[in-house]
Amino acid sequence: MAQKQHTRRSSAAPSSERGEQAMIEGILEGSPDAVGVAVVRLDCGCRKMAAISPSGDPASKIIMYRDNAQSICDQCKDDHGDFRRVVKQFISWKKPEPDQATMALISAKVLGC
């Protein structure tokens, strides 16, 4: 497989946040009906993401990625990002955001809280 170098640099923002935002935008582009993207950050630095439909169901397959890496880490390959290693999870809403009640409903369904 061809090796691709990603060496774009900027001092504007931490690269991990920028990478995450780029992934979110890419997922939304691929799932035009989605209302947002569920983001799960794991303690190892890898992330799980999936587009969310207006009814709170997955609107894409779950994507796992790791910043500045060709693949996710060995631990994630092993446990697929076990729930116990989640450090943060949230939904990045697509603009315009749904109303508060809808957001709360979808959050409860997707994140269980």
Among 16, 19, 44, 90, binds Zn ion (CB under 5 A): 44
Q: Are the C-beta atoms of residues 17 and 39 closer than 8 Å to each other?
A: no
Query: For Zn ion, which residue of 46, 59, 106, 110 counts as binding (CB under 5 A)?
Result: 46
Residues near Zn ion (CB under 5 A), total: 4
Provide the minimum distance between the beta carbon of 41 and Zn ion in the complex, in angstroms, as a whole number: 10
Query: What's the min distance (Å) between Cβ of 105 and Zn ion?
Result: 30
Instruction: Say how far residue 55 (Cα) sits from the centre of its chain.
Output: 18
73 touches Zn ion (CB under 5 A): yes
Stretch that binds Zn ion, among 7-15, 22-30, 32-40, 71-79 (CB under 5 A): 71-79
Residue 76 is a binding residue for Zn ion (CB under 5 A): yes
DSSP the chain: ----------SSS-HHHHHHHHHHHHHHHH-TT-SEEEEEEETTSEEEEEEE-TTSSB-S--EEEETTSSS--HHHHHHSS-GGGEEEEEEEEPSSPPPHHHHHHHHHHHH--
Q: Is 40 in the site for Zn ion (CB under 5 A)?
A: no
Closer CB to Zn ion, residue 73 or residue 103?
73
Residues that bind Zn ion (CB under 5 A): 44, 46, 73, 76
